Structure formats: C-alpha cells, structure tokens
Amino acid sequence: MKRAPGRRSITDVRGVVVGHSEAGLTVLLPYPAAVARRKAWGAFRRVGRVGEVSGLHVLADFGALSSPIIFCPLTWFGSVYDGLMAAAFRRDYDLSIDAGWPPLVFGISAAGDPDPRQPMPAGAVDEALAAAGTQFLTGAVGAGRRWSSFDLPGGIGTASQATRQRSTVGVLAASNGGRREHLRGSSTTGAGPTLPLPAERPSGADSGAFALLVATDAALDPRSAGLLADHALLGLARTGALEAGAGAAALAFSTADPVDNAFADGKHQVRRGEPAPHALAELCAAAAEAVQGAVLDAVGLRP
C-alpha cells in the first residue's frame, strides 16, 4: 500500500479527485465538489462481465455524466447506490441529470467480499466523498482491499500520460483478475523495468474483472470519448489481463467544455470538442499507455 505520487496520477487531470473510505469504497469525483451543476462528456465500453454497473442510461442517451463514480464490493452495490442517491437528493431534490444523478456505481465481485448479510457501515459513501483529494493511496486499499490481480495482491492503481499537444490522460484502475503467467510489462516476462515481485496470492476460481476510469483535459465529444475508452481496453489487453477470461469496462470522460447549469436558464449553449485526428490518435495512445501503468501500479510493479 502506497501513496500515489505527485506525478503520473489521474489527479494530474485538473479537477479530478479520488478518495477511499475505511469501509472499503473508492470514489472519483469528475469535477470539484463545489460545482453545483455540471455534466461532462463521456462514453462507456465493456468486454465481458464486470459485475454490476449503474447509471449508464443517461451516459448512453446523452453522452454525458454528472455523478461521482464509486468502486465497491458487489455485495454492497445496492447500498452504495442508495448512498449516492441520498447525496444527489441533498444537492437537488428534483434529481436533475446535471446535479449528481443517476449514480454511477461499479460493483465488482471478489473472493473475500463482505457477507451479503453484513450491511455496509453507515456513512461509508459520505466518508469516501469527503476523503476525495489529489493525493490518495494505491494498492490493496479502498474497494481493492480484498482483490487479487495476476495472483498478486491487487487493488487500485493509477497513472497518467501527457501528449505532445499538452493534454493529459489519467487512469484509475480497479484491478481484480488475470493470471500471473499472463502478466506482461514487468520483470515477469523480461519486459519493462526489473522490479521485485510481491509474494504470490493463491488464485481463485473466478476469472475476475477490471474497471477503468479514464479522464482527460482535452476537449472531446462522446464519439471521441468512446474511442478513448476503446483504446483503454486495448491497453488493458496488452498487460495480459484478459487472457484468463476476465471481464473489463472502461468509462472515459473529458473535463474540458463541461455543461454547467444546463437547465437553469433554458438557453445554455452546448459546446462539444472534437479533436483533430492526429490529436485524438495521441490521446488514444496515451490512454493505452496509462492503463498499463495503472494496472502495474495496482499490484506494486509500476516503476
């Protein structure tokens, strides 16, 4: 367990913060909590099964998101959803889609998850929201405290990459799957930096799941955000994470050109950036590279 460095973290994307609760939740805020109403352009992609994911219908229909995003044990999925709903009600009782609704929750199953009969501790969602900041722990912390990845202690990882266009792409990875013999990009295969391997953790029968949050300060429309999510999954495949049948999901969003107070005056002018082809290609390459770094970070192998 270690603290994410000042560089090469998803919080290098301005406005994005991450936090954990002691109970075992990890939260990402896509924009500052002080902003009352905002939608960010984004897109979601999935390969195979990743547990349960809520709040995708508005993202699919409008290409935008407003809610905090939480990783949690699958057994607490409903409780976390209810906790985010309560937070959204406090912001806007009408549950506007630019004021934290619908809740975006990733419920990921793992061996050692809390017993379904064990309720989530009261206040765990609010604790995670309050803990969000630019510095946060990675490894077997937050939602990842019980996870195993590549037969090693897995968990939460992060990384970022800058492009020649002076944009930043950051990734927060929930890493819970894969087999050690498939891991690429570390000293296990002779590729990448020579790093000591942690002690092995016994493999479980479950093939696991990976969830990726990809943020950038480059202006994107929903179609471009979808390409960023696609390349994030490509970067994940390069690590060998999917070779044992694990499922994976990627949610990509842009912090540029947000839609603020969209329903306050009824006359809001919506701008959606569409990067030039060469700039989009750089962003996609940076997303794939950052995902590889984040997955290695989750298991303590990032240089």
User: Which residue do the tokens 């107070």 mark?
Assistant: 261
- Give residue 175's domain range: 2-31+38-260+272-298
Nearest to 41 by CA among 278, 219, 173, 212: 219
Q: Measured between alpha carbons, how far is 16 from 157 in angstroms, rounded to an integer? A: 15
Q: Would 154 be classed as within a structural domain? A: yes
Task: Give Cα separations from 180 to 161, 175, 232 (angstroms).
Answer: 26, 13, 21
Supply the pLDDT for residue 298.
92
Low-confidence ranges of the chain (pLDDT < 70): 1-7, 93-95, 97-100, 111-116, 185-206, 260-273, 303
Nearest to 263 by CA among 103, 92, 104: 92
Supply the pLDDT for residue 204.
44
Q: Is the peptide bond before 275 cis (omega within 30 degrees of 0)?
A: no
Nearest to 10 by CA among 225, 228, 171, 144: 171
DSSP 47-93: ES--SEE--HHHHHHHSEE-S-EEEEEGGGHHHHHHHHHHHHHHH-T
Measure the CA angle with vertex 52, ends 285 and 65; round to 5°. Answer: 55
Q: Would 303 be classed as within a structural domain? A: no
Q: Would 198 be classed as within a structural domain? A: yes
Token pair, residue 284, equals 């996609």
Cβ contacts of residue 141 below 8 Å, gap of 6+? 1, 20, 26, 155, 156
Question: Which helix (H) or strand (E) covers residue 158, if one does?
Answer: strand 155-162
Q: Measured between alpha carbons, how far is 210 from 64 in angstroms, rounded to an integer? A: 22
Token pair, residue 185, equals 């990009």
Q: Measured between alpha carbons, how far is 43 from 216 in angstroms, rounded to an integer? A: 12
Each residue's pLDDT tens digit, 147-189: 888 888 889 999 999 999 899 999 999 999 888 888 886 544 4
Q: Measured between alpha carbons, how far is 287 from 171 in angstroms, rounded to an integer? A: 7
Please provide the distance, in angstroms rounded to a whole number, between the alpha carbons at the two ends of the chain: 14
Q: Would 267 be classed as within a structural domain? A: no
Q: Would 189 be classed as within a structural domain? A: yes
Packing angle of the helix pair 222-238, 277-298 (nearest 10 deg): 40
User: Which residue do the tokens 């913060």 mark?
Assistant: 17
pTM of the model: 0.88
- Residue 219: count other Cβ atoms within 10 Å of its Cβ: 18
CATH of residue 137's domain is 3.60.70.12
Q: Would 194 be classed as within a structural domain? A: yes
Q: How many CA atoms lie within 13 A of 302 on its CB side?
A: 28
Please give the tally of structural domains in the chain.
1
Q: Would 265 be classed as within a structural domain? A: no
Measure the CA angle with vertex 234, ends 181 and 243; round to 5°. Answer: 30
User: Which residue do the tokens 């060469």 mark?
Assistant: 278
Q: Would 215 be classed as within a structural domain? A: yes
